[in-house]
Amino acid sequence: MHSRRSAEPSETAETSSDGEHVDAIVVGSGFGGAVAAARLAQAGFSVTVLERGRRWRPGQFPRSTDLEEGWLWQVGQGLYDLRWLKSMLSLQAAGWGGGSLVYANVFARPAAETQDDRWPLPLRRQALDPYYDLAGTMLGVSPVQPDLLTGVVPTRTTFVEDIVEQTQIRPAMIRPNLAVRFGASEAWSRNLHGVPQRGCAFLGECVLGCNRSAKNSLDLNYLAVAEQHGAAAVTGAEVTRIAPDESGWSVWSKEGGGGDEHLVRRTATRLILATGSVATTELLLRSRDVDHTLPNLSPTLGRGFSGNGDQLALANFRRGDGDLTTGPTITTTTVLDVWERSKSVWFQVQDGAVPAVISDMLDQLLPLPRLRSWWTKLRRNDPARTIALLSMGHDSGTGRLELDHHGEARLRWANRWQSRLYRAEERVGPLIARVTGSRVRSVIPWSIFKKPVTVHPLGGVPTGRDSDTGVVGPDLQVHGYPGLYVMDGAVLPASTGANPSATILAGAEHAIEGLIRTLTGDSSWRAPEWDRVQPVPAPEDEAYEWIARRRRDTAGDGIVFDEHMHERAPDGAPGGELQVRLEASSLDRFRADPEHRLSVDGTITLAGLPGTHHVTGELHMFPRHGRHLMGYDLRFTDQDGQAWIGEGLKSQRGSGPLARYRSLTSAQLILHSESDPSRSIRTRLVLHPHNVLGNGLSLRGQGFTFPRRVKALVNFSAFFMTGVFGFHRRGDGD
């Protein structure tokens, strides 16, 4: 990967030349670079992969509470590189395997219906679905499996599923595919690519780098394949400069450490940049504006940056028991599609394990022992009951990366452009608090400074038909510079709204296949692993479809209330009763419906029919056409298995307010047996004054937030009172 300082182009005493010209240099070993390196090597091309970070072997990932012991790239070239982009904090990794070393393993496809016109056809679901299957096969993905030691899935998984169950959107939650090797945690076995691994030990430390080799990071699959087919891996090589030359491309990298640091120049026919959205865009910006080696790069360079709508929060649950830090980092995904200020906002929320070492490290960062002790007592949190909540959605994707006067990337970003998304994501906290009684707190950069944090930076290298509309073409080759390609998250044109690693992998698979076919002249070339590929289930698609239907069905939010009516038996004998719950899930649809229908669910007992029966149906409230004020259409089955259908009508009788009240509190009910048309029941149901009061008090608005529930309640109440006083005119709109 590359430095944020420019290097001199000339060969100096401090600059050495690798000497060997190769077919392709790949800069970066993350999700795009690993795919490019593996496929080019399999196709017989000579490949060199340059990675600024080190190889992290099992047991070498940092676990100390001291930040200086391998954690930060800025301190001893550690694992994490925190980039403060002025208006956003970006987190990326350094090491052989790139972001796969520390990501949360989730392999998810974006929702096809959310891919708008910004997405070129080669990057849309229809084109990439087969390549998702290929990438999923390469990574060996599957949903979380039970821990072999306990026989159950992690406590956090079922805990979060129970919370979602209480919000009545359980079908919107799934267990996503994970790039984790499940099985015996102490037994080594070889994966699909011949690399030895162990099974997951459920330590919850995936985002810290897996010290047990159970995480299916790229060094154990794609990069292993690349090296098996002759690709040369150069770690500790930080690319500082690129330039076209007579042989194709020259690449300078800073290598060595301490007093041995020097520049190395390598050449290749083709150059593939895959250092991540921020780093790739920064390198290209500097090549155009500082080094002037690529002066004709498109003016669109840097545009279209997205933080993938990321928002991170923490919650500590005092109620309940069990360790919520165990298992893979993420095990569930909940998709939400809600109305925010009259527009739909689509996003998803994932649970996250917070490793104990992170909690300990945060405590240690406080400067004084007495202050640390005070903070621990004040917080009163059990670290084992803390989870992270990662939200992702569709932000505007209109950020712009530029260079500051130090030649480093900075981001032009306005929170107001994504205010609906951020507001909707923040409402998840109160929702969880209402269900669990525990507060949810945003991380400090957002809660104090209103600076978003992203672990999924995307964009900066737009795709277009020419240099006026994009930096790269549909084949991901840079306009005006043959042989230069970009294959990482920088070319994604907008937020994916899901974990983007699978889309970067699939997009790179598609692009590199096309490049190899062009270079070899073999239009049928494909990755050797295609023969092993099986369709990889996409559980997220079911959640996407369900939540989309729910949004359509709940437009304008909804209401629910109870109605309790008593039977008035003709002979004065004790009668039965009708107790039902009435619901309109979408007030928009309810008001547009000429019949103004509400669903009915409850029980009915009648003097002439033994037993209590479950009844369903519809209530037509102040229908625009017809002579009645309200009408019930009911269905139930009696104790003998006989089906009944019924009609209950509240009809206008007389004039004046008192007559209107009596008409609305009395219904003529006629029931018929479906199997015996000659058998019928005719009776009258009435609402007593205390029932009228109870029905009114039971009225509840339904919506994602309290203001929306109140608004739904007010809107329905206004509709109802208009009908009560006779202001609905039949045949007219509302």
Residue-wise pLDDT for 3-55, tens only, equals 444 444 544 446 777 778 999 999 999 999 999 999 999 999 999 999 999 99
- The pLDDT assigned to 529 comes to 97
Sheet holding 343-353, edge to edge: 173-174, 333-340, 343-353, 386-393, 311-316, 440-442
3-state helix, strand, coil in the chain (%, to 5): 30, 30, 40
Mean pLDDT of 659-682: 88
Residues 431-484: pLDDT tens digits? 999 999 999 998 888 878 789 999 999 999 999 999 999 999 999 999 999 999
3-state secondary structure 89-158: EEEEECCCCHHHHCCCCEECCCCHHHCCCCCCHHHCHHHHHHHHHHHHHHHCCECCCCCCCCCCCCHHHH
CA distance 135 to 141: 9
Instruction: Round the CA-based radius of gyration of the chain to a whole number and report it.
Output: 31
Residues 85-116: pLDDT tens digits? 999 999 999 999 999 999 999 999 999 999 99
Res. 160 pLDDT band, cuts 50 70 90: very high
Indicate whether 125 pLDDT > 50.
yes
CA distance 258 to 227: 28
* Most distant pair of Cα atoms in the chain: their distance: 113
- The pLDDT assigned to 417 comes to 86
Q: Which residue matches tokens 């593996």? A: 38
Other C-beta atoms within 10 Å of 193: how many? 17
| Contact call for residues 308 and 500 (beta carbons, < 8 A) | yes
> Which amino acid appears at position 640 of this protein?
D
Give the lowest-confidence range in 297-301, 312-316, 369-373: 369-373
- The pLDDT assigned to 376 comes to 58
pTM to 2 decimal places? 0.86
Helices (H), 399-500: 419-426, 428-436, 444-447
Q: Which residue matches tokens 């499996």? A: 145
- The pLDDT assigned to 729 comes to 47
Q: How far is CA 733 from CA 342, 592, 595, in A?
A: 21, 8, 11
Residues 633-647: pLDDT tens digits? 999 999 888 999 999
Domains of the chain: 15-549 (3.50.50.60), 554-724 (no CATH)
